[in-house]
Amino acid sequence: MLKRYQTVAGYGQTEIEINKSRFIAYVKRVETEEMAVAFIAEIKKKHWNATHNCSAYIIGENDQYQKADDDGEPSGTAGKPILEIIKKMGLKDTVIVVTRYFGGIKLGAGGLIRAYGKSASTGIKEVGIIERQGHTRISVQIDYTLLGMLENQLRMQDYIIADKEFTDKINLIVLEKIGQEEELKQKITDWTAGNVLFSIAGEEYVDTLLPFEE
């Protein structure tokens, strides 16, 4: 699991017109290359009569899956500028399809590069960008008498309590950023005077919506 990365917030679409050509951008967060390929196929089927359905994606923790497709536009004028926008914004696990309906006016290579880049950027802005930060799920087992105090301490310091389990003891699942687990465990040990048991209950991402910067 990565400590943190940025991606699009979900799914969305936008449309712009440039010299009478319609450019419709479809943006989606995906987790596998198969999901990206399926999404591209879905948009191509939806817009089977479009002049072009150009696309690009970056997938994987190390950006190991990347592809750009010009779909009939001059080489390097459509898929690549879409891909470069994804890279420029530092996004992972993102697929974009830009559908073009030709309006009768040729844009030239430079015009196409700018149009597809602008369409991709506009689509990302519409969907929004999130930062996904890796957290460890720490299981905190305490007596019932300590629950109110510990919940207050955690919330006052903006820790996330992801779950609670009630048996003969109380088990709280508390999220802490990867690499900072020992600091939290020490705080809880101090607050409870050592009357606590810890275990690790997995990992998960916590998402934060970021302001859009072009």
State both tokens at 69. Answer: 């497709």
CATH assignment of the domain containing 99: 3.30.230.30
Residues 109 and 182 in one domain: no
Residues 50 and 87 in one domain: yes
Question: By the 8 A CB rule, do 162 and 137 touch?
Answer: yes
Residues 13 and 97 in one domain: yes
Q: Is residue 82 over pLDDT 90?
A: yes
Residues 113 and 143 in one domain: no
Q: What is the mean pLDDT of the chain?
A: 95
CATH assignment of the domain containing 176: 3.30.70.240
Q: Is residue 112 over pLDDT 90?
A: yes
Residues 122 and 152 in one domain: no
Where does a domain end: 67, 95, 127?
127
Residues 120 and 144 in one domain: no
Which pLDDT tens digit goes with each residue over 2-60?
899 999 999 999 999 999 999 999 999 999 999 999 999 999 999 999 999 999 999 99
Alpha-carbon distance 193 to 198, whole Å?
14
Residues 122 and 138 in one domain: no
Residues 146 and 116 in one domain: no
Residues 180 and 162 in one domain: yes
**Which residues form the domain of 189?**
131-210
What does pTM read for this prediction? 0.88
Q: How many domains does the chain have?
A: 2
Where does a domain end: 127, 142, 158?
127
Q: Is residue 214 over pLDDT 70?
A: no
In terms of Cα–Cα distance, which of 107, 73, 101, 68 is closest to 85?
68
Residues 135 and 32 in one domain: no
Question: By the 8 A CB rule, do 73 and 52 touch?
Answer: yes
Where does a domain end: 74, 109, 127?
127
Mean pLDDT of 67-76: 96
pLDDT at 213: 67
Share of the chain above pLDDT 70, in %: 99
Residues 25 and 89 in one domain: yes
Which one is predicted more confidently, 214 or 157?
157
In terms of Cα–Cα distance, which of 45, 65, 46, 47 is closest to 56?
65
Residues 36 and 90 in one domain: yes
